[in-house]
Amino acid sequence: MTRTPAPRVFRFAPSPNGYLHLGHAFSAVLNFEAAEAADGRFLLRIEDIDEMRCRQEFEQAIYDDLDWLGLSWEEPVRRQSEHFSDYAGALARLSAAGLIYPCYCTRGEIMEAIAGKSSWPRDPDGSPLYPQTCRSLTEAEKRRRSLASEPAALRIDIKAALAKAGRTLTWRETSASGGTREIAAKPALWGDAVLSRKDVPASYHLAVVVDDALQGVTDVVRGEDLFMATSLHRLLQDLLGLPVPDYCHHPLLRDGLGRKLSKSARSKPLRALRLDGISPEALRAYFPAQSAAMLKL
């Protein structure tokens, strides 16, 4: 008996900490078109794990903007704030394997520790690598600080994690031209990265791999600014025994000065374009001559 292959699963996962802009629309449309072309599934995930910055009005605006673009998605929508236990479970597994440790350092203390070291290495996002101050804490000191309820982030012990993996990890990447190639992951570039902040139960890196696995995502189509993050994601997938999606990191939309569109740069939101009378068809015409079909996703 021939078994029908499972449908491919794509997702768009915005954070409701501001209004969507053209860059978001481009990524959402690419994922939606890819799902349609593959006769697959298109999921919407609300990445609201940072409850201090996320707001209900922004979440509602996401639904309104995507509906205006003509996109539809499966219900119910996964909201990260409703799944803290999933991230806690992943952290517990990493802790049991001796792969994470508590970090009590403040940002100021970290900067003080590397002060005057101009050649100090930085991660792919440009932040200084953590100097591993808390990695050498004794168990007694960790216990004392825990009993005193001192706030702590949880960091991956990258040396121990790489030893646990014991091999070079790779992922399959689809390029803008439609070709595929195997990429060797380089998670060591991230150092002892934070997996759980003092004020947030999981970092983006941990939450995204857990969410993708639990939702059965087979294809991750996202901006090229997250290309290097995939190295760390591959390591976490391996350590947690999670499936590995295929990846496509598409070009970013940029403004007239070459800057990527972003919330932090106050790029014009979709809702403002809609109020200006711009149609969804005109919006799509603005996108690069690149579609899911051209990407051969």
**Domain count of the chain?**
1
State which amino acid sits at residue 151: P
Q: Does residue 1 lie within any of the structural domains?
A: no
For residue 26, the enclosing domain spans 9-295
- Averaged pLDDT, groups of 10, the chain, 297 residues long: 79 96 92 94 97 94 96 97 97 97 94 89 95 93 91 97 97 85 97 95 97 98 96 98 96 73 72 89 75 53
Angstrom distance (rounded) from CA 243 to CA 211: 11
Q: Does residue 21 lie within any of the structural domains?
A: yes
Evaluate whether 78 touches 211 at the Cβ level (below 8 Å): yes
Give CA separation, 205 vs 1, 87, 210, in Å: 40, 11, 9
pTM of the model: 0.92
Q: Does residue 3 lie within any of the structural domains?
A: no
Q: Does residue 94 lie within any of the structural domains?
A: yes
pLDDT digits (tens, 9 = 90+) for 137-151: 999 999 999 899 899
Angstrom distance (rounded) from CA 108 to CA 120: 16
Residue 38 maps to which CATH number? Answer: 3.40.50.620
Evaluate whether 72 touches 42 at the Cβ level (below 8 Å): yes
Angstrom distance (rounded) from CA 38 to CA 32: 10
Q: Does residue 4 lie within any of the structural domains?
A: no
289: tokens are 């001559």
pLDDT for res 286: 76
* Burial of residue 133, with CB atoms counted within 10 A of its CB: 0-12 exposed, 13-18 middle, 19 or more buried: middle
pLDDT for res 254: 76
pLDDT for res 218: 98
